[in-house]
Amino acid sequence: MTDERAMNATLPHATEEASQKPALERDTTMTGSKRGKRAVPQDRIPLSPNALLVMKKRYLKKGEKGEIIETPEELFRRVARAIAQADALYGATDKEVAETAERFYALMTSLDFLPNSPTLMNAGTELGQLSACFVLPVGDSLEEIFEAVKYAAKIHQSGGGTGFSFSRLRPEGDVVKSTNGVASGPVSFMTVFDSATDTIKQGGRRRGANMGILRVDHPDIEKFITCKHDNDRLTNFNISVAITDAFMRAVENDEDYDLINPRTGMRTKTLPARKIFQAIVQSAWKNGEPGVIFIDAVNRANPTPHVGMVESTNPCGEQPLLPYESCNLGSINLLHMVQDGAVHYERLREVVWEAVHFLDNVIDVNKYPLEKIREMTLANRKIGLGVMGFADMLMALGIPYNSDEAVAAAEEVMAFIQKESKEASADLAKKRGNFPNFKGSIYDPELGGAYPFMRNATTTTIAPTGTISIIAGCSSGVEPVFAISFVRKVLDGEELLEVHPLFQKIARERKFYSESLMKKIASRGSLQSFSEIPEDVRRVFVTAHDISPDWHIRIQAAFQKHTDNAVSKTINFPNSATPEDIYNAYFQAFKAGCKGLTVYRDGSRDVQVLNIQKKPEFRQVEPRPRPDKTIGATERINTGCGKLYVTINRDEYGFCEVFAQMGKAGGCAYSQIEATARLISLALRSGVRIEAIIRQLMGIRCPSPIWQNGEQILSCTDAIAKVLNRHAQTNVASAAQEMGACPDCGASVEYDGGCIVCRACGFSRCA
């Protein structure tokens, strides 16, 4: 037995630390069918403080004044009842529907499985839009382009993210016969989509997210590759290049390849493939964009080629979809599937079958934003069942993430989920019918050959799980943990030390736990330099930056081998990585069968990355003069002291001054407000980023907080910060991407499959 395996004896049950209730203390007896019966847990969900914070901020229903009007238990009841109603469409009695609702409630409140965010937010509400991901076609006429913009706005408003291929658009400078003019090209029109997205919040809860894809053989590919070199551009887009097998062979053989005008189908010019590939690599090395999608590999796995070819994916890249198709996702918490140092496969089988039933029901009760989307989604009935907590599962098993054992564990657990999800879908098909676009049979060697029944065109996807993994109390998707210990900021500037529960258990039992050590670990993020921690513990409790890109890709490929759709995964590189390292990673991923790759080099979006090793220099500055003319806006906001009017102005360099005035003059409050505004103005004209000012002011509390338009105003200072935040929203999101700092609480963010996620407060933003 290895040292790592020997650790199993001291590791807790799957949820002992995370939820205070071991998963297997519940009844998991298999009775007559693979779905079995489960005892419904008490109306008390073992949520961590972080999970409660996330649910309050983003999921629980709110009243007209922004007050929370449901508990987490009521949320899960609402969702379970709404999704169970689909059973009635297939002949279930009221009693049977109620029983299904109880099983769905138990499935979610156990935190063994959670659906994607729109389902949690919107099931059982008037909005009722439950899908996370959509793909819209973008045609080559002005009418088709702006039709796509309009449809995207509707999807974002309902809570979904959109993917687009701009490969059908004629290149910049090409002829436009109807006007005798010239075309603007794909990149120019992407800015139109980006601007529209800026004005829409997804379901009123979050800003929209987009994926923009261009084929590598499009004449505008060079402009596309560099279109996000300025981090303030296209802030609502992730971008990826659709790379063909032929292009990769041309790169490998140092050959030329043709660029094709999509309007005419004719060659426009020939370029060295390596030149373009190196441009992609250099740009990804610079700031992580663009990603790559191996489009031929995607279409080889297309289950309905007779319906159409895949052109694009959802914003995080894991869900290839046909035009007008949508998909709903959900993830199983693998940490909860561990018992006594092994994966409990009987329990996992039960959860897979119940989750497939749940996700298939979502398709029927969903309220689709467009009739075309409803028709295409019902015709293919794609679902995406994935996992979260994989890194935690490995730790609970005593397996290092960067090891052959981990690769084998990934293949084993995902092969099991793939097989069981197919059998569950086939079982549903016998009762409810095949998906309408099902043609003949599906051949799958894991199922033993051709299979004549299938309810869902796809059943598995590995998505980034962002906020739902915070609710579940586990690591995100198939990513390694980002930190073993970190500091979480709470109200009034207080900081709380958070330590991974499995590590804390080991540290206490092996007698090396101390508060000071945990704080040191939090400051460095990794255990590897701490000699006081036993080597076998350091070997198992590795973090994202302890793991070489090679192992990241091997884990991604292991999951991809048994996943219908794609795998969302960020390949982390140290800041010292070279473009050649990224070049090699792309080829490794291509040859390993991955469908795409997202890379992030540590600090590559940091505005001071070139000075990272230098001692910072702080010099006194003189604020720039106030200009004679400024442009701005005034907002009225209610506070506990009365109506507050806040004016924020810009000059040619950006935000430059703030004025604030109470509805009634005089008094101590008035003078304090004026002083605050003057100091903000001084800071802005001295070059202080507005995001830093917002972080300092937001959350300051007075004795008279009030609610306004769905948010709590804690004080006059907090009110000013909220106004600044609204005006600087795009800047704040950009700062989070560039600096690696959460715009809500200032803690470090993780890069997860094209999204940034703060595990300290729940902030999440894709693109």
Q: Which residues are catalytically annotated?
A: 314, 316, 318
Tokens at 516, concatenated = 């000071």
**What are the strands of the beta sheet with 631-639, ordered from one edge?**
631-639, 642-651, 654-662
H or E element: which one contains 221?
A: helix 221-225
Residue 95 burial class via C-beta count within 10 angstroms: exposed 0-12, middle 13-18, buried 19 and up: exposed
The answer to whether the Cα torsion of 542, 543, 548, 553 is positive or negative is positive
Of 120, 144, 131, nearest to 59 (Cα)? 120
Give the distance, in angstroms, between the CA of residue 565 and the centroid of all CA atoms in the same chain. Answer: 16
d(CA 672, CA 170): 58
Helix (H, G, I), strand (E, B) or coil at 348: helix
CA–CA dist 103, 358 (Å, integer): 10
On whether the CB atoms of residues 548 and 572 are closer than 8 A, the answer is: no
> What is the chain's alpha carbon radius of gyration, rounded to the nearest angstrom?
26
Q: Which of 573, 35, 119 is nearest to 329 (CA)?
A: 119
DSSP 78-97: HHHHHHHGGGGGGT--HHHH
State the Cα–Cα distance between residues 463 and 752, nearest whole angstrom.
9
Cα separation, 281 vs 277, in Å, equals 6
Say which DSSP state 68 is in: B
Q: What is the dihedral of CA 531, 535, 538, 540, to 10 degrees?
A: 180
